[in-house]
Every structure is written in C-alpha cells, then in structure tokens.
Amino acid sequence: MSSVSREQLRALMGEVLATGGKALPDDDGALLADIGFRSLDFSELALRVEDEIDAELNFEAAGLRQITTIADVLDLLTEIQDQ
C-alpha cells in the first residue's frame, strides 16, 4: 500500500481549499476556523487520501482528539494511513 506524505497531504489540502476560492497559509498552526476549512472540506480531503492510497481510512483507530489547526489535520491523516 502506498502512502501520502505530509507534503503531499498539504498540497491536497491546498487543492481542496482552492476549489472553494480559499488559500492555504504557510503556517501549520493556522486555525481551521480562520481559513474556512470546514467539515465538508475535511471529508473531501480524506476521500482524496483514500483514492491516493487505494484503501479506506480507519478513523476509529485515531480515537478522539482536538482538530483545530492545519497541523492537527496533517497529523491525523498521516497517522491513520499507517493503521
């Protein structure tokens, strides 16, 4: 199974935002609420990752956690690819 690197994840995240006419800032600490990255965007990003790795992501494995920044999204999606 292939995996998507953090840089690739960032690029995909930028593409998802660009479709909605929004830009991804360079700072990984930026708040999702401030950049307008909403649950529909997060869900689309997850599907794009699934398509890249040709496997379903297992969110149950991630447990509950706070997702408020760009880094949180990148960390989560990096981690659960390995589950």
Partner 1 sequence: MSGAASSNRLIDVRSGRTTTWADLRHVDIPAPAAVVVDSSFAALPSVKAHAETGAEFLVVAAGRMEQALRTELRSAGFAIVDPDGGVEAALVPRPAQDGRLWLLTSGSTGRPKQIGHTLASLTTVSGDMSARTWLCPYSPGTYAWWQVVTLALGSAGQDLVVVDPSDLDSWVAAGIEYGVTAASGTPTFWRQTMMAHKDRLADVPLQQISLGGEPVDQAVLDQLRTFFPDARISWIYASSELGASIVVHDGRAGFPVEWLDRDAPDRPRLFVEGDELVISSPHHGAGLDGAVRTGDAVVIADGRVVITGRIDSDEINVGGAKVSAGVVRGVLTSHPDVAWAHVRGRKSPLVGNLVVAEVVLTSGETAAPEVVEALKAWSADRLPDYGVPRMIKLLEEIPAKETLKSDV
Shortest gap between Cβ of 27 and partner 1 (angstroms)? 19
Q: How far is CA 36 from CA 5, 7, 55, 79, 83, in A?
A: 23, 20, 27, 23, 28
Between residues 27 and 61, which has the closer beta carbon with respect to partner 1? 61
Burial class, 49, CB count within 10 angstroms (exposed 0-12 / middle 13-18 / buried 19+): buried
Shortest gap between Cβ of 53 and partner 1 (angstroms)? 14
Between residues 47 and 53, which has the closer beta carbon with respect to partner 1? 47
Between residues 10 and 48, which has the closer beta carbon with respect to partner 1? 48
In this structure, the number of other CB atoms found within 10 A of the CB of residue 19 comes to 9
Binding site for partner 1 (CB under 8 A): 19, 33, 39-40, 42-44, 46-48, 51, 56-57, 59-60, 64-68
